[in-house]
Structure 1
Amino acid sequence: MDVTQPRNAGMDGHEQALDLTRGIAAYVNHPLVAGLARVIAKHPQADIANAFNHKQVACKMWALDRLFESCGGRFGRIWVLGGWYGVLPAMLFNDARFDIAAVDSIDIDPEVAPVARTLNRDAGDRFRALTADMYALDYAAGRPDLVVNTSCEHIADLRAWLALLPRGTNVLLQSNDYFSEPTHINCVASLAAFEAMAALREVRFSGELPTKKYTRFMLIGTV
């Protein structure tokens, strides 16, 4: 064999990514990796590399660790708002610490729902990807055990949105101080500023996670 010519030389980047993830999925026999391979194969237009980049994954792992420490691992139904491609639900379903009846990934963009369903296919009817505006949801009727919003920097009036949730609703909220990102319309300068903005009735966890370009802030508690 000509060692100067890689065996995958004729593949484009998408084909190489698919080949790689399929190989890793076969080796580790992990549903999340298999789901990622399905997404790459079925939804080549999806920006799944961005959704699974190391910063996104690190922030979600941090969220899961602190959630388990502060609230335990048993939940009925969880609503993930701004759910995008359903990565956080997939991580929840594949974390042995958690026993979750169902997760709804809710996003206003209709194009992300099919991708989220593909990624979470193995969860069956425990997972739903819904297209909806978070301001139009009936939180009282839905009665989720936990509402997750990891992109509060995109919410113009965080306090007004939180007022839509019934008193006593459990929430996990994240924001950041990445003011230079044009799509971030309501960043916070500090953890204290985030706490003041959210004004939760009970705070079970409050912390920050520094990254290279910004610091991510997180609150877990009840409204």
Structure 2
Amino acid sequence: MTRHALRYLPALLGIAMAWPAAAQDAPAAVAAGSPPPAAPAPASRQADERPNGIAVFAGLYSSDVFSDIVTSPWDTRTENIYLLTLSYNRRITTVFRHLDIEVEAGAGRRFGDNNSFEGYAALGLRWTYFPWNRYLRTSFAVYPIGPSYVADLSPSEVAKDGRSANWLNYFSLELTFAAPELPELEVLFRLHHRSGAFGAINGSTNGADFLSVGARYRF
């Protein structure tokens, strides 16, 4: 090796020693320049991906008629009849972006002055958009039609119009709330009602009403 070539030997050794460190830093540099990972889906989207729901709710019987309970709930009279219900709910489709069409079936047991089995199935419409949903997720549902069966009627239910029957129509109004961070868990308030659909079934215009509260888990 000539004396001229030896002059470049220190520089070549420095490059050789620095090369492995540069190679190790390259993936980190690429990662640093790559786009950030996708953010988690918002709570509303996560809730939309859960079409099923299981709910448990308990109710207190009211001897008032449905219209009086809705228009003046502060004057509602109650009796010693209680209802504990387990229900399954499934969303079929969504129309107009915020209106869910769903079906629900439930079975329950009455306690107190009326020990009886009760069951129902119903079609439901649920509105899911409210301007405050980012702070408190809210939905409002109406279950307008479906069969309702009670094995043993209470005297109070029959006395409402004297024409009550074991088989009537199911009708319900429901309001739910959920935290945006936990959209799968809902607190629900429901007016659980059965009647003859304005006299169409057995001439009954009234039936039974339960003021109910419970919780639903969506999955």
Give the TM-score normalised by the residue count of structure 2: 0.23
The answer to which structure has the higher helix fraction is 1
Give the TM-score normalised by the residue count of structure 1: 0.22
The answer to which structure has the higher strand fraction is 2
Q: Relative contact order (C-alpha < 8 Å, sep 6+): which is higher?
A: 2
